[in-house]
Amino acid sequence: MRHKIDMELIIGQTLRFGVIISILLIVVGVVILFIQGQSNGISLDKLSMINSTVNSSSINVNQMLLNFSFNGLNFIILGLLTLIATPIARIILGIASFAMEKDKLYVIITVIVLFNLIFSIFILPAIIHI
């Protein structure tokens, strides 16, 4: 039982800190963006336009993470990615928590949920691409 209580606390804290970190990254990104007046060679008014063409499909995330530069947009993207990653971290911790309780059925169930998530993040884009 002791394990279970610890895990619930860890899951709760992961969610909380995930949100705090991502919002901090986003705020820092917005501030840098306004100080520099542009980001990654794109002007601020082009970025901030309501029907801006700068969106998640025009940004190469891998490249951005590999050579991370001190740009507002990079911080915002990193913050948004952290936010999306938070629930995924929760699922992985959930699997660990059920495994500790030796609850086989729920380990399997949670692995299926994780698979659905991984499928939508990595496999599906590749399929749509073809």
Partner 1 sequence: MDPALTSALIELLLIVIIGIFAGIIGSLVGLGGGVVLTPLLTLFLKVPIAYATGASLISTIATSSGSASAYIKDKITNVRIGMGLEIATTLGAIIGSLIASYIYSHSLFYIIYISFGIILISSIPSTLSRGRYELPLPKRPDKTTKIFRLNGKYFDPVLRQEVQYWGIRWWLAEIIMFFAGIISGLLGIGSGALKVLAMDWGMNLPMRVSTTTSNFMIGVTAATGSSIYWYLGYIQPFLAAGTAIGVLIGAFIGTKILIKITNRTIRWIFSSIIIFLGIEMIIKGIVAIGILLPLFYEYLIPSIITAIFIIGVYIRVRIKNET
By CB under 8 A, name the binding residues for partner 1.
8-9, 11-13, 15-16, 18-19, 22-23, 26-27, 29-30, 33-34, 37, 43-45, 47-52, 54-59, 73, 76-77, 79-80, 83-88, 90-91, 94, 97-98, 105-106, 109-110, 112-113, 116-117, 119-121, 124-125, 128
Dist. CA 12–CA 115, nearest whole Å? 22
In the complex, minimum distance from the CB of residue 40 to partner 1, in angstroms, rounded to a whole number = 11
Give me the phi and psi of 9, to 5 degrees please: -65, -45
DSSP 3-state of 38: strand
In the complex, minimum distance from the CB of residue 67 to partner 1, in angstroms, rounded to a whole number = 18
Query: Of how many residues is the chain composed?
Result: 130
In the complex, minimum distance from the CB of residue 65 to partner 1, in angstroms, rounded to a whole number = 14
**What kind and span of H or E run contains 43?**
strand 42-43
Dist. CA 100–CA 1, nearest whole Å? 10
Nearer to partner 1 by C-beta: 32 or 66?
A: 32
